[in-house]
């Protein structure tokens, strides 16, 4: 349990450290608040985690999800919040994060984002990082790779997904107002997804 909380703290640290970068990305094709939104949310997550005593992984993730929904705002708050809430459902009663559980969490998170935002892959959103990451994770696991190797593969796929968002037109969210002018810019939400995965991966190597 303590390590799950520490993993979330590591994730929060990265998002808070990259606040300005994420906001700059959103400034190019959105409204310049993604980093501000996310950092506010994860500052609140840090404070809540310090005061709470969750019983299981589901409890930790539920706290994260509810806090993001109530503090982040914008499009990304409900989307990431729902992702964490769904991941909480599949980790209820669990205290150990193994590869199979992480795969279930990623799959549940993707389902939540899709239900909530009605986007699919290729619309220049966080899904363009998260879905390929999930697929790479499953593929690595099926090949018998270790958890840390599988997470590395997932993070690499998310990084490639972020690169891919530079080449496509946004058809969901604020960036869609720009149409073709969104091409050439990487999506802020895909980038925050990549950053969270890379934080978890770094944490798992320790």
Q: Residues interacting with ligand ADP, by CB under 6 A?
A: 26, 30-31, 33-34, 37, 74-76, 79, 113, 117-119, 125-127, 172-174, 187-190
Question: Residue-wise over 117-142: b if at least 16 C-beta within 10 A, else e?
Answer: bebebebbbbbbbbbbbbebbbebbe
**Looking at beta carbons only, is 31 or 160 nearer to ligand ADP?**
31
The least CB distance from residue 59 to ligand ADP, in Å, is 26
**Residue 67 binding result from ligand ADP, Mg ion, none, given CB thresholds of 5 to 8 Å by partner type:** none
**Looking at beta carbons only, is 74 or 132 nearer to Mg ion?**
74
Alpha helices in 118-175 (DSSP H): 127-142, 147-165
**Is residue 117 part of the contact set for Mg ion (CB under 5 A)?**
no
Q: Is 107 left (phi over 0), alpha (psi -120 to 50) or beta?
A: alpha
d(CA 195, CA 199): 6
> Of 30-38, 109-117, 125-133, 148-156, which part binds Mg ion (CB under 5 A)?
30-38
Q: How many residues bind Mg ion (CB under 5 A)?
A: 6
Q: Which of residues 65-94 bind Mg ion (CB under 5 A)?
A: 74
**Is residue 31 part of the contact set for Mg ion (CB under 5 A)?**
yes
**Looking at beta carbons only, is 9 or 24 nearer to ligand ADP?**
24
Which tokens belong to 176?
Answer: 């869609």
CA angle 206, 47, 101 (to 5 degrees): 45
Q: Which of residues 123-182 bind Mg ion (CB under 5 A)?
A: none
Cβ–Cβ < 8 Å for 161, 192: no
Cα torsion 121, 194, 134, 117: sign: negative
**Residue 125 binding result from Mg ion, ligand ADP, none, given CB thresholds of 5 to 8 Å by partner type:** ligand ADP
**Looking at beta carbons only, is 126 or 204 nearer to ligand ADP?**
126
CA angle 31, 37, 39 (to 5 degrees): 135
**Looking at beta carbons only, is 41 or 54 nearer to ligand ADP?**
41
What is the contact surface with Mg ion in residues (CB under 5 A)? 26, 30-31, 33-34, 74
């Amino acid at each position: 349990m303590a390590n799950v909380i520490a993993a979330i703290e590591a994730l929060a640290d990265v998002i808070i450290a990259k606040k300005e970068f994420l906001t700059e990305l959103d400034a190019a094709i959105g409204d310049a608040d993604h980093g501000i939104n996310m950092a506010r949310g994860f500052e609140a997550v840090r404070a809540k985690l310090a005061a709470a005593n969750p019983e299981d992984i589901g409890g930790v993730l539920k706290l994260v999800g509810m806090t993001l929904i109530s503090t982040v705002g914008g499009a990304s708050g409900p989307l990431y919040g729902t992702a964490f809430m769904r991941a909480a459902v599949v980790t209820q009663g669990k205290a150990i994060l193994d590869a199979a559980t992480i795969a279930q969490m990623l799959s549940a998170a993707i389902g939540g984002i899709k239900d909530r935002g009605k986007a699919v892959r290729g619309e220049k959103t966080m899904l363009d990082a998260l879905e390929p990451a999930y697929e790479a994770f499953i593929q690595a696991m099926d090949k018998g790779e270790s958890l840390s190797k599988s997470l590395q593969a997932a993070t690499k796929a998310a990084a490639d997904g972020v690169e891919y968002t530079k080449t496509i037109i946004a058809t969901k969210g604020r960036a869609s107002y720009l149409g073709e002018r969104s091409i050439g810019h990487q999506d802020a939400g895909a980038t925050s997804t990549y950053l969270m995965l890379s934080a978890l991966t770094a944490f798992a190597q320790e």
